[in-house]
């Protein structure tokens, strides 16, 4: 599949809106065939953007209303994300996409999570047992951090070590408009396992 770049340009009058504030933002645009579905119950729509190797896909969940995201957050679960993006729910549609460049980075202290999974002993110098790894006594885990980032630019999508977006070009004349000019959710899925690897909210540029 041929890799294509997203055109980058400032669109006059297109603003990212949140509550009572608005600002002009640099948007990327692309007119191509994407996986697409309407979620009528949620008053939202989902667009799928494949990575170049098709192992991963990035999905954008865009509410119809400017302030619609807060109204639907409690209805979004991992199970629902998998259901909404399954082949039976999505279809290839010609889409006029407007998406802001963005970068999201965060880190998480997983000590409490791992302790809840039964690894509390690993964090105690009195009970930790790493004798299979080192002969030193008192060896224990002080901190377990998970750091993740997602970068979306006109060159493609980058998450961890994966980059690139591939598109299939079609020639049908009708296009769905998918303008990400208000808060939306995004997530990256491993296609074979249906696992959600990254999940985030874009609220303001």
Dmax over CA atoms of the chain, in Å, equals 70
pLDDT single digits (tens) 55-90: 888 899 999 998 889 889 889 998 999 999 998 899
Give the DSSP H/E element, type plus range, for residue 27.
strand 21-39
Tell me which residue of 30, 43, 47 sits closest to 89, measured CA to CA: 47
| pLDDT (0 to 100) of residue 205 | 60
Tell me which residue of 159, 155, 164 sits closest to 188, measured CA to CA: 159
- The fold adopted by the segment(s) 7-101+154-202 is Alpha-1-antitrypsin; domain 1 (2.30.39)
pLDDT single digits (tens) 104-160: 665 556 556 556 666 666 656 566 666 666 666 565 555 555 555 555 655 554 444
Tell me which residue of 145, 79, 135 sits closest to 111, measured CA to CA: 145
Domain boundaries, the chain: 7-101+154-202, 106-148
95: left (phi over 0), alpha (psi -120 to 50) or beta: beta
């Amino acid at each position: 599949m041929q890799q294509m770049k997203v055109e980058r340009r400032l669109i006059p009058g297109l603003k990212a809106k949140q509550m009572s504030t608005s600002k002009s933002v640099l948007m990327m645009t692309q007119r191509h065939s994407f996986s697409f579905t309407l979620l009528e119950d949620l008053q939202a729509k989902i667009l799928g953007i494949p990575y170049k190797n098709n192992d991963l896909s990035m999905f954008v969940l865009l509410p119809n209303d400017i302030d619609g995201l807060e109204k639907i957050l409690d209805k979004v679960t991992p199970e629902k994300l998998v259901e909404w993006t399954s082949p039976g729910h999505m279809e290839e549609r010609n889409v006029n996409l407007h998406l802001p460049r963005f970068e999201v980075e965060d880190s998480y202290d997983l000590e409490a999570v791992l302790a809840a999974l039964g690894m509390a002993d690993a964090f105690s110098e009195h009970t930790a047992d790493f004798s299979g790894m080192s002969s030193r006594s008192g060896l224990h885990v002080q901190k377990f951090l998970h750091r993740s980032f997602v970068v979306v630019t006109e060159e493609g999508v980058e998450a961890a070590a994966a980059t690139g977006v591939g598109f299939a070009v079609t020639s049908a004349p009708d296009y769905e408009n998918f303008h990400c000019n208000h808060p939306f959710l995004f997530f990256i899925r491993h296609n074979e396992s249906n696992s959600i690897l990254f999940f985030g909210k874009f609220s303001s540029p």
